[in-house]
């Protein structure tokens, strides 16, 4: 899958950079990096609509100036981009995410080696970081875990390192599917089932822990399907959306019989822990 990179320049930055990020997230943009003069945003090529972009409210607001450059980034180029800028990620003293050219630390409980074919799911994004923080609070020993929208497979790998008896990792993207298999092998973990697809791949199963780091629109659509595959008392960890999306997701989760355990946020992104 190819991605489009948009380099937006925003003036004034406050509060319009955050508003633009929210509006782009509503369009289906998956990842953002904040820059000193604006932000970079990424969306799958086949998900992008030129008409939707031109109709964004901010482009009609005279109080803000927004310009952008767009370029196509073929999937095979992600790894080269990543190698040029990939720093080690440390989630407290719990887990570090390293590349082949990093030295392994002795200060973290877990160390995960990742060499992604795409730039999402490496731990650099706030949502992945928060999901790891929430996972730390769970006892995953002997649990059956689903990682829906697995990306690089980093959360599935962490679940297995935490002692889960079985882990299933699912992603709709071909490269994510292949990359997860490769990263599982790099980290010498086993008993992780990797499937290409979406929520339908969980049908008929029964999980103790369900993890989904996906955008709000997909979560709102697929939460009922997730709920059907979770045992009573199971833990649900969600991220991939903004703090402003919380009320809508919370209402949906309550309708499905879930109760809130924890809500965390980082740079306007949100992660949730609910119990069934």
Annotated binding residues for S-adenosyl-L-methionine:
128, 149, 171, 213
Query: Kindly report the CA angle at 21 between 137 and 60, in degrees rounded to 5?
Result: 160
> Which parts are annotated binding residues?
128, 149, 171, 213
β-pairing, 3-11 vs 65-73, is antiparallel
Coil, helix or strand at residue 246? helix
Residues in the chain: 276
Residue that the structure tokens 């599935």 belong to = 156
Q: How far apart are CA 213 and CA 174, in angstroms?
A: 17
Name the phi and psi angles at 258, rounded to 5: -90, 155
Coil, helix or strand at residue 160? helix
Residue 58, number of CB atoms within 10 A of its CB? 17
């Amino acid at each position: 899958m190819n991605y489009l990179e948009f380099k937006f320049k925003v003036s004034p930055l406050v509060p319009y950079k955050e508003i633009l990020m929210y509006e782009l997230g509503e369009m289906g943009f998956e990842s953002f990096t904040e820059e000193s003069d604006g932000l970079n945003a990424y969306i799958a090529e086949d998900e992008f609509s030129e008409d939707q972009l031109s109709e964004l409210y901010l482009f009609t607001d005279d109080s803000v100036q927004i310009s952008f450059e767009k370029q196509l980034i073929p999937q095979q180029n992600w790894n080269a981009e990543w190698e040029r800028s990939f720093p080690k990620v440390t989630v407290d003293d719990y887990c570090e995410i390293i590349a082949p050219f990093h030295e392994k630390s002795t200060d973290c409980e877990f160390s995960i080696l990742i060499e992604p074919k795409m730039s999402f799911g490496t731990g650099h994004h706030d949502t992945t970081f928060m999901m790891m923080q929430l996972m730390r609070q769970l006892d995953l020993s002997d649990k059956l875990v689903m990682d829906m929208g697995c990306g690089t497979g980093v959360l599935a790998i962490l679940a297995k390192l935490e002692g889960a008896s079985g882990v299933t990792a699912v992603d709709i993207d071909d490269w994510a599917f292949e990359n997860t298999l490769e990263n599982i092998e790099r980290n010498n973990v086993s008993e992780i089932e990797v499937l290409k697809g979406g929520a339908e791949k969980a049908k008929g199963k029964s999980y103790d822990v369900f993890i989904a780091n996906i955008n709000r629109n997909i979560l709102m659509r697929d939460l009922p399907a997730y709920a059907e595959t979770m045992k009573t008392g199971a833990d649900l960890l969600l991220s991939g959306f903004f703090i402003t999306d919380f009320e809508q997701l919370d209402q949906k989760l309550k309708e499905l019989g879930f109760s809130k355990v924890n809500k965390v946020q980082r740079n306007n992104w949100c992660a949730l822990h609910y119990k069934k």
